Amino acid sequence: MKRRDFMAAAATSTAAAHAANSASKLALEGGAPVRTAPLKANYWGTQYYDEKERKELLEVLETGRPFRWYGPGSEPPLKVLTFEKEFAARMNTRYALALPSGTAALVVAMNALQIGPGDEVILPAWTWHSCFNAIVLAGALPVFAEIDESFNLDPEDIESKITPHTKAIMAVHLQGNPADMDGILAIARKHKLKVLEDAAQSVGASYRGRPLGSLGDAGIYSLQLNKTITSGEGGALVTNDPVLFERAARFHDLGSLRPPHEKALGKAQLDWFVGGGYRMNEFTGGVLLAGAQAGPHRERCARERAARV
């Protein structure tokens, strides 16, 4: 069902229900309430905070090394770097890059994919602000396509939106629900387009047994308050492409490639270029590290699924 058809059907059913119940009393007047229990909306990640997060924070405080690359003493800070390794393992990808937010991850991804002025990026018409904001900030044009019954990007409406200027497709997995990646990837391969997965709202969800974010050319995540892993604010980018990872790592850190990232890559393949400042600090990295290990995170996701059945 297309988005417009869905909205029309929803409006019709609402009007019919209202007409059928117009003679009944409101709950305020003594009638039967629509719900007997209130809807609940909890902040997922912080429910699982315990001594592990406290320990990580205190270690950074005591060593006085909150900057991710260096600080006082002889030992280098390792919280963010270790989080990147744990997160890449959790998402079954070769590389992960820690970032200050999911929005920052989208901005870095646009630059890593070399999207800029004159380019077009196809994305779903129903999505979060950051998706089209990142495209516009890159100087490119957002092109909206319809959503399907999953409320995510409809593969059947993508090809009609492709032009000679199309460079990428952004598949957004909203509210833990995966988009049709088989259909999206097939179209992308046919037209030689890059696929960026926005799994900001789906940290821990999967598609045919593979973590969301690991199927396209790159994936991004939000680690904000409403997420299963949270530091209040945070983000990450994952990819299996070494050149794409190098571009992301360079852009997030003023165009430089730090030795630990160069070591992870084996060798640098790009020259220095102009970048921004999107580094994560060690306090944030420590909190995320406590929740990012594969076993505890899978347990969190399983408990959340069970609570919402």
Tokens of 278: 């999107």
Residue 51 sits at φ, ψ, to 5 deg, of -65, -20
User: What proportions of the chain, in percent to the nearest 5, are helix, strand and coil?
Assistant: 45, 15, 45
227 is catalytic: yes
* Helix pair 51-63, 282-292: axis angle to 10 deg: 150
What are the CA-CA distances from residue 284 to residues 142, 200, 276, 287, 291 (Å)?
31, 17, 19, 5, 11
> How, if at all, do strands 218-222 and 141-145 pair?
unpaired
Alpha helices in 45-143 (DSSP H): 51-63, 79-90, 102-112, 129-137
Q: Which residues of 281-297 are buried (b: 16+ CB within 10 A; e: fewer)?
A: bbbbbbbbbbbbbeeeb
Burial of 13 (0-12, 13-18, 19+ CB in 10 A): exposed
Angle subtended at Cα 104 by Cα 171 and Cα 137, rounded to the nearest 5 degrees: 80
Dist. CA 48–CA 291, nearest whole Å: 8
3-state secondary structure (DSSP) of residue 21: coil
Dist. CA 83–CA 95, nearest whole Å: 11
The alpha carbon of 252 is separated from its chain's Cα centroid by a whole number of angstroms, namely 16
**From the candidates 79, 167, 194, 227, which is the catalytic residue?**
227
User: Minimal CA–CA distance to 148: which of 118, 120, 184?
Assistant: 184
The residues annotated with a catalytic role in the active site are 227
